Chains A and B, each alone.
Chain A
Amino acid sequence: MNTDALSSAIASQLVMLFAALMLVLQLLLVAQQMLLVAVRLYALQSLMLTAIAGVVAYYYNAPHVYIVAVLTLAGKVVFLPWLLNRIVRDIKIHKEVEPLLNAATSTLICLGLAVLGFIVARPFTTLERLGSNTLAIAVTLLLTGFFLMFNRRKAITQVLALLTVENGIMLAAIALTSYGMPLVVEIGIFFDVLVAVMVLGILVYRIRESFDSVDTAKLTRLKG
């Protein structure tokens, strides 16, 4: 086996490993009720994404993916978790109320969603360049993220769910094309996520002030 094929195989394996870890972290997040722990899980998941970007940049000689990796590290592993931590401390709510479905049921449903993700991604796996199941994991992250959003009632958890969905999309972007999207788009998406979380943060503070709670189940006035 020549070195090129060998390094490509290693890259593929590494990407696969980190992607699988992202999925595991997502499942832990679904079962988690402590908000601060959930924020840390999200930070870890973003770290895995950074690692994938680093591997891709190294093995495919795509220098602009390094920039993506650095941005992900600075933004999603350091800054956003810090911001969310601060919000959680400020609003003094540390534990999610009982979700609509309990942890066991949620985990089962998410496993079902994972199977669905693998089925959806199947027609594309032969065309994929990196790791055979990365796209399936990306789709699963998307689906479980949506599920998390519906299942939880605290505003902060919904924000976290949205962020994991975004992680899934970035994973898909890297996995499908093996060199990511054009730099301007990547950077744009990055700042977009930052601004979105800040806007959501402002809303969380205001909801907290007006409703004396961040339980989105209390937002029920508007109908029809």
Chain B
Amino acid sequence: MYNYTILIPMIPLVMFLVTGLLGMKWKPIISGLLGTTGLGISWVLSLMTAITYFFGGHHAEAFPTIIPFETLWLTFSETLQIKMGVLLDPISVMMLVVVTTISFMVHIYSLGYMHGEKGFQRFYAFLSLFTFSMLGLVIATNIFQMYIFWELVGVSSFLLIGFYYQKPSAVAASKKAFIVTRFADLGFLIGILILSFITKTFDFGILTNPDGAVFANAAGLSFMGVSAMTWAMVLVFMGGAGKSAMFPLHIWLPDAMEGPTPVSALIHAATMVVAGVYLVARLFVVYHFQAPDALEVVAYIGGFTSLFAAVIAITQYDIKRVLAFSTLSQLGYMMLALGVSGYGGEEGLGYMASVFHLFTHAMFKALLFLGAGSIIHAVHSNYMYDMGGLRKYLPITHITFLIACLTIAGVPPLSGFFSKDEILVAALEHNKLLFAVEFLVAGLTAFYMFRLYFNIFWGKDRHYHHTPHESPLTMTIPLMFLAFASVFSGFLPFHSLVTADKMHFDTHLHLGVAVPSVLIGLLGIALAWLLYKKESKTPENIARKLGVLYTATYNKFYFDEIYLFITRKIIFNYISRPIAWFDRHIVDGFMVGIGTVTEKVSYRIKGMQSGQLQHYAFMFVAGALILALVLVYYM
């Protein structure tokens, strides 16, 4: 019934190969159209899958886990095997929709945004590669397949951030993203190894069985006073934290904004960065039953990241960076929701809220980024002090951007309101401190988003090189579509679709949470209105009064500098240098020595090949005699 789902990732793969290998021979636009068409097909197939899966009949019992396709790839032992396949369950089907929708929109948008860029076909080839990898990750039937595609996602992200490879800052950013996430993946890999050592399986189906039978071996295993399962799951989370840019591995995401803006929308807002959330959600049963301590770590890291990033976002001037920090903050929300969630029925509210927010966030954050792209396209700058009064020049961008800002600020009845509200409720039931943090962040979010909005669209006109004009239809249609999705996706009944135990449960509006959270959002908006609607010196004055606090925030609390100090000054000097010396003098010296000896011997014996037949005959007979001696010796 779902056999066709294998096509969903395969089409982008084929598109990658076709546009990658043959793209140079065609007009650039052909690659673009081809990639977009292919992805359109994948999108339709994903929607079909989602509709048949969610609304195809069975409502009474839990949603089934379906594996329509699986093939054995490698066998280590009877039980430990690596398979490749397609797994359909509520969360993966939902992710198929998210990934293909955003990717399809970005494909269309890029036709306009990237028009005339050098390397247009390369861009589309990489987009297809990324989409293939992300889809492969989403539908993975086992943790190893997920890891393989996880790395592929990392590679394609690296390629896309470094798309403008003549720009040193883009190259540095791509390297930074790759190295930081790779470092995190080291933890992920070790986590996988511990997990498979304990359970002798990679299979999600077996791992996430709530009875936990495969974890029987784990009892009593511990390291440094912490149980083996907690270690494993914290390490797995480290991989997720790297991809989802959780504190303290968040440093790559703001820099990743060096990539083309559609890439930021696709990868660094809606899809790749939620891979970490998806990973934790995928293994949620294991976290909940086997390693509740690890889940606690997830909750606190998520909570801290959301506050930390929201504070930084207030002070940034590069509009893409504001959005990047906002993404960090929202990802923190999702992690936190998972961290505070329970399992089964209403206990699982956090889980449901997290994936719900993942879905709505994907829509409105992609919209924000694409809107930012449209603005940058019009004024050729990333900085908000180069912008102002744009609402008359970019009407469609203005309206859609405003919708997105209202959504993220949690204004009802837009989608962000619903998903954020569920998260707050879940947090309140579990942990008052985390609830307080999130409540504050809701206000901060509204404030920095509207600071952005007012700075861009209101205030005075700047000296533009040419009059800014609205972007072409290829760019505005995705904006309108995503705006539509941002407004209405809040009405999707997630509580009966994607839940921890795959069963339906009832939710109700918690007025005690909803009203204050809406109010603090409105307060944030009002504050932004006062400070930024008309240009004034007030914000500067406030900043000056805050002094060191402001500077530290503006400089992202110097985290980049700390990392640089640790790597350059400590690791490079005290670890790398001695290793390099050892490598150059001992290891290389040995190898060069072998080479020299080989060369010398080879030179010495060249006289043996004299060209004289009688000499050869002598050697032949002598060789036979020597062999006879060998034989005599051994007999």
A and B from one complex: no
Interface on A for B, CB 8 Å cutoff? none
